[in-house]
Amino acid sequence: MSASRFNPMALSGRRFLVTGAASGIGRAIAILISKLDARVIITDCNPSGLQETFQHLDGEGHAAREFDLKNISDISSWMESLIADGGGLNGFIHAAGLFSVMPARLLTPEKWREVLLINTESALALVKGFLGRTIYKGENGSIVFISSVMSLVGSPGAVAYSLSKGALNSMTRSLALELAPKHIRVNCVAPGFYYRKIRLAGLQHTILQALTNI
């Protein structure tokens, strides 16, 4: 088979930010899109995991940037700093998330607000940053949020997590309509809880479809 065969999912010349890239889904997606020739900026608040992911990226032009998404007010300025070295972004994948298992009677406002902050509010802050005049390249932009099956079904003790992911789903619908005139697609993927290889492969394919509009 020819190495030059057309690949409809190739991401050559495109640059993406991946949050939550120190492990799990974020790591898998960052590695996959690097193999498809994208330039990747990976971020997480876990520096050791971030560096481990970085070592597995294919190709050149990638960057690893430690950042805590709880710092909502700093996200826009931080995103501006990302483009200083490598230019604008074509999109981002928000895989960072905070899981919570706690009965409703034990939940405190501080706890559910922390979950919402990372899972939902930071997602909106990333969108606002991405729409900055110097950040979005203006070329078939793509935003992908990682939601959860728990946004669609119920489970005891998952009320805060389900709340945050359900809000993310609804936000996606409105953003998709609002950003379509700017040629930015907005999609939300809702995986299950366990990541056997076959499940992860299917998830990766779904995310690639969202990135490439196939």
Q: What is the per-residue pLDDT across 16-63, written as a single tens digit (0 to 9) for each?
A: 999 999 999 999 999 999 999 999 999 999 999 999 999 999 999 999
What's the CA gap between 58 and 45, in Å, rounded? 22
Assigned CATH for 15-212: 3.40.50.720
Place of tokens 């919570």: 100
Every domain of the chain and the residues it spans:
15-212
Query: What is the C-alpha to C-alpha distance for residues 42 and 39, in angstroms, rounded to an integer?
Result: 10
Q: What is the pLDDT of residues 155-198, one digit of tens each?
A: 787 888 889 999 999 999 999 999 999 999 999 998 876 544 44
Residues 175-191 as b/e (b if ≥16 CB within 10 A, e otherwise) read beeebeeeebbbbbbbb
By percentage, how much of the chain surpasses pLDDT 90?
A: 60
pLDDT, tens digit (0-9, with 9 covering 90-100), for 97-136: 888 877 788 888 899 899 999 999 999 999 999 998 889 9
Average pLDDT, the chain: 87
- The CA R_g of the chain, rounded to the nearest whole Å, is 17
> Does residue 69 contact residue 120 with C-beta atoms inside 8 Å?
no
The residues carrying an active-site annotation are 161
Cα angle 90-94-97, degrees, rounded to a multiple of 5: 170
pLDDT on residue 201 = 57
Query: Does position 2 have pLDDT exceeding 50, yes or no?
Result: no
Give the count of beta carbons closer than 10 Å to the beta carbon of residue 160.
23
DSSP 8-state code for residue 208: H
